[in-house]
């Protein structure tokens, strides 16, 4: 078992260019960062400064042109697709602004999805864990609702439960409360951070909301492809 405050994710000198030809942009210009288990980090900065690009690299959804990403002490950024996909399923939970729930599936099925992919529990264990997670986000009585039958705030709580499904060491959240009202934003943020702290997970979240940023353990302002 990793130490409660060990480094869950670290990146060193990340560079990323996006676009082709004349439109090629140097988006990340040598970003280094580390996140410890049990801590919540806010990445803030103007639109277009590279926050989402960084989160994609940290989440192994994209590969850097230079630099490295280390997850639980293992260098992952340059490993092959299979290894990165496996690491993502096992170590990383994602919550995005637009939740990307499978709307035609129930809340329970959405939360079970990452567990099915990882395939470490039996189906009854998966069901039980999904129920427990949905209860912890206050949706214990709505496990059989379809995505389409849930409000925006409820959908985002399902996304939080889904991100926690495989007990990842890292939660990456890109404007997780961006499309919610004040009350639901606070609720989703509180759930995300309290559950992550209980489980000793590192949370890295991008937010435009100063109240949310101020409640994180650490705030990292970004400008033009670098931390300030
Ligand atoms: N496919 C692409 N081609 C060219 N430029 C891109 C592409 N994707 C993103 N960018 C540029 O990269 C920069 C950083 O984008 P992004 O990481 O999404 O910013 P943020 O999340 O901070 O708003 C922006 O200037 C954006 O226009
Ligand atoms: Mg963004």
Residue 77 lies inside a defined structural domain of this protein: no
Q: By three-state DSSP, how is residue 71 classified?
A: strand
Probe residue for ligand 1, chosen from 50, 54, 98, 224 as the CB with the greatest number of ligand atoms within 8 Å: 50
Ligand 1: atom nearest CA of 53 is 17
The CB of 49 under 6 Å from ligand 1? The reply is yes
- The average pLDDT across 35-40 equals 96
CA 55 to ligand 1: nearest atom: 17
Residue 191 has a CB neighbour count (10 Å cut-off) of 18
Query: What's the gap in Å between 170 CA and the centre of ligand 1?
Result: 23
Strands 66-71 and 7-18: antiparallel
Packed helices 152-163 and 123-136: angle between N→C axes, nearest 10 degrees: 130
- Give the chain's domain count: 1
Spatial separation of the C-alpha atoms in residues 207 and 227, rounded to whole Å: 15
pLDDT at position 58 is 96
C-alpha angle with apex 19: 16 to 20, nearest 5 degrees? 120
pLDDT at position 2: 56
Q: Compute, in angstroms, the gap from residue 157 CA to the centroid of ligand 2.
A: 20
Residue 27 located in a structural domain: no
Picking from 191, 167, 222, 226, the residue whose alpha carbon sits closest to that of residue 8 is 167
Enter the DSSP assignment of 21: G
Question: Is the distance from CB of 8 to CB of 201 less than 8 angstroms?
Answer: yes
Question: Cβ contacts of residue 192 below 8 Å, gap of 6+?
Answer: 95, 160, 163, 171, 173, 176, 203, 205
Asked if residue 123 has its Cβ within 6 Å of ligand 1, the reply is no
Mean pLDDT (whole number) for 72-101: 88
pLDDT for the residue 38: 94
User: What separation, in Å, do the N-terminal and C-terminal C-alpha atoms of the chain show?
Assistant: 34
Asked whether the predicted pLDDT for residue 155 surpasses 60, the reply is yes
- What is the C-alpha separation between 31 and 69, in angstroms, rounded? 11
- Burial class from Cβ neighbours inside 10 Å (0-12, 13-18, 19+) for residue 217 reads middle
**For residue 206, what pLDDT is reported?**
96
Domain CATH number, residue 188 = 3.40.50.300
Question: Does pLDDT of 3 surpass 80?
Answer: no
Give the residue-averaged pLDDT of 114-126: 96
CA of 86 to the centre of ligand 2 (A): 25
Does residue 112 fall inside a structural domain? Answer: yes
Asked if 40 contacts 203 with a C-beta cutoff of 8 angstroms, the reply is: yes
Q: Rounded distance, CA 10 to CA 34, Å?
A: 4
Environment of ion ligand 2 (residues, CB < 5 A): 51-52
| Residue identifier of the C-alpha nearest atom 10 of ligand 1 | 18
Please give the Cα distance from 73 to 46 (Å, whole number): 31
Residue 103 placed within a domain: yes
Domain annotation covers residue 151: yes
User: Does the C-beta of 207 come closer than 6 Å to ligand 1?
Assistant: no
Burial-class residue 18 by CB neighbours within 10 Å (0-12, 13-18, 19+).
middle
Residue 196's pLDDT band (cuts 50, 70, 90): confident
pLDDT one-digit tens code per residue, 174-184: 998 887 888 88
Q: Is the CB of 52 under 6 A from ligand 1?
A: yes
Tell me, yes or no, whether 67 lies in a domain. no
pLDDT tens profile 135-145: 988 999 999 99
Print the domain residue range for 212: 38-52+85-227
H or E, element range at 227: strand 226-227
User: Domain for residue 71, yes or no?
Assistant: no
Residue 210 within a domain? yes
């Amino acid at each position: 078992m990793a130490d409660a405050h060990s480094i869950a994710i670290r990146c060193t000198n990340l560079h990323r260019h996006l676009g082709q030809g004349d439109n090629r942009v140097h988006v990340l210009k040598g970003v280094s960062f580390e996140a410890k288990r049990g801590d919540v980090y806010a990445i803030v900065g103007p639109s277009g400064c590279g926050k989402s690009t960084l989160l994609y690299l940290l989440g192994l959804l994209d590969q850097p042109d230079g630099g490295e990403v280390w997850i639980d002490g293992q260098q992952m950024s340059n490993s092959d697709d299979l290894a990165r996909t496996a690491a993502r399923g096992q170590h990383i939970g994602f919550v995005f602004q637009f939740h990307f729930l499978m709307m035609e599936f129930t809340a329970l099925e959405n939360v079970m999805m990452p567990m099915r992919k990882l395939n470490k529990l039996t189906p009854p264990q998966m069901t039980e864990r999904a129920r427990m997670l949905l209860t912890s986000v206050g949706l214990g009585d709505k496990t059989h609702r379809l995505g389409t039958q849930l409000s925006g705030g409820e959908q985002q709580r399902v996304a939080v439960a889904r991100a926690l499904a495989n007990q990842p060491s890292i939660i990456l959240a890109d404007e997780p409360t961006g499309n919610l009202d004040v009350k639901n934003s606070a609720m989703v943020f509180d759930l995300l951070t309290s559950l992550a702290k209980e489980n000793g997970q590192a949370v890295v979240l991008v937010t435009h909301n100063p109240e949310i940023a101020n409640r994180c353990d650490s705030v990292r302002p970004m400008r033009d492809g670098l931390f300030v």
